[in-house]
Amino acid sequence: MNPIAAAAFVFLSTLSVLQFVLVAGHESQSTNGGSKAGVVNVNLIQQACQHAPQKDLCINTLKNDPNSKGADLTGLAYIAIRLAGAYASEVDAHLRSLLINNATSLSPVVQQGVADCIEHYSDANEQLDDCVAAMSTKNFKDVEVWVNVAISDADYCDNSFSGEKSVVLQKNEAFRQLCNNVLAVVKALPPHGKE
């Protein structure tokens, strides 16, 4: 995929996720603990993050997002997906820049690792787009599957450097944490979409 097409895909994907976040934020708030518009419901965010491996990170990430004001649990799930997708796009852009700006100074192994990581993060973005589609039909099991596949993409990225130190190890870990936030919020949703 050429860089312009990739950038357009990322832009359109982000717009699609944002549209769902806005729709989710305007759904009925009384059915799953939403708060008045403009107010961050910290108790609801704590409930949403109760299963997160790094609970404080999950809470702070959601609480600091301006879209969390007035969001219900479903809205928080969309926000978590959007944040993970935005970060995946950021890592993808960083990797592309790294490859373009340092092509002559990177070893062939690192160049190949970066190229592989670009592919993995492109795939991760697609998985997160699939999460949005699954959320819209309240198919939370599929959301969990797609998020776990996206986490695997970060793992594969780490393994792409054939013994060389990964140039994106910390970014991969941050992405996994954001994906774990998605899993935590989805676990807090009522089963089978019964709100």
**Local structure of residue 106 (DSSP, 8 states):** S
pLDDT tens for each residue of 65-113: 999 999 999 999 999 999 999 999 999 999 999 999 988 898 898 999 9
pLDDT tens for each residue of 109-165: 899 999 999 999 999 999 999 999 999 999 999 999 999 999 999 999 999 987 777
Going from N- to C-terminal start, the domains of the chain cover: 3-193
Record: fold of 3-193: Butyryl-CoA Dehydrogenase, subunit A; domain 3 (1.20.140)
pLDDT tens for each residue of 35-46: 445 677 889 999
10 Å CB burial of residue 143 (0-12, 13-18, 19+) is buried
Rounded Cα gap, residues 90 and 96, in angstroms: 10
151 close to 144: Cβ distance less than 8 angstroms: no
pLDDT value at position 179?
98
146 close to 130: Cβ distance less than 8 angstroms: yes
51 close to 144: Cβ distance less than 8 angstroms: no
- List, in order, residues 6 or more apart from 39 with CB less than 8 Å away: 69, 70
74 close to 32: Cβ distance less than 8 angstroms: yes
